[in-house]
Structure 1
Amino acid sequence: MHSKEYRARGNWNEIKGSLKQKYGNLTDDDVTYQEGKEDEWLGRLQQKTGETKDKIKSWIDRI
């Protein structure tokens, strides 16, 4: 998963909204991706959601 690919395709806002909807405890800061910090971002999502990084990546790829 590379969020810049999603943003380039124009659906990054949809992905962020879907993450926040699925995991109600996520904030805007949690779903904001910073270039070059994918591992940190996924780790933060993993901590907040209790899901594995692979499961999060797979879920995002299906959106």
Structure 2
Amino acid sequence: MDWNRIEGNWEQMKGKIKEQWGKLTDDDLDVIAGKRDQLEGKIQERYGIERDRARQDVDDWSGRH
């Protein structure tokens, strides 16, 4: 799924994102509000991984949805 569709359906996608990245809080998801770069940054912060790894994880996830 392209990111524009994810961003447009953010409220519906939040549950799927929490399934994948359980360390993200509802407040995190509200702040992210569908912005991919902010999602990658929060994943990086919460999981202590490099930005490139977070970007790849988001690519993999979005490709499945």
TM-score of Structure 1 vs Structure 2, range by shorter chain: 0.5 to 0.7
Contact preservation (8 Å) 2:44, 2:54:
yes
Does residue 28 in structure 1 map to residue 36 in structure 2? no
Does residue 53 in structure 1 map to residue 55 in structure 2? yes
Alignment length, in residue pairs? 59
Give the percent of matched residue pairs that are identical in Structure 1 and Structure 2: 27
Contact preservation (8 Å) 1:25, 1:48:
yes
Structure 2, unaligned stretches of length 5 or more? none
Calculate the TM-score normalised by the size of structure 1.
0.56
Over aligned residues, Cα RMSD in angstroms?
A: 2.7
* SS of residue in 2 equivalent to 1:25: coil
Structure 1, unaligned stretches of length 5 or more? none
| Larger RCO, structure (CA 8 Å, separation 6 or more) | 2
Contact preservation (8 Å) 2:7, 2:33:
no
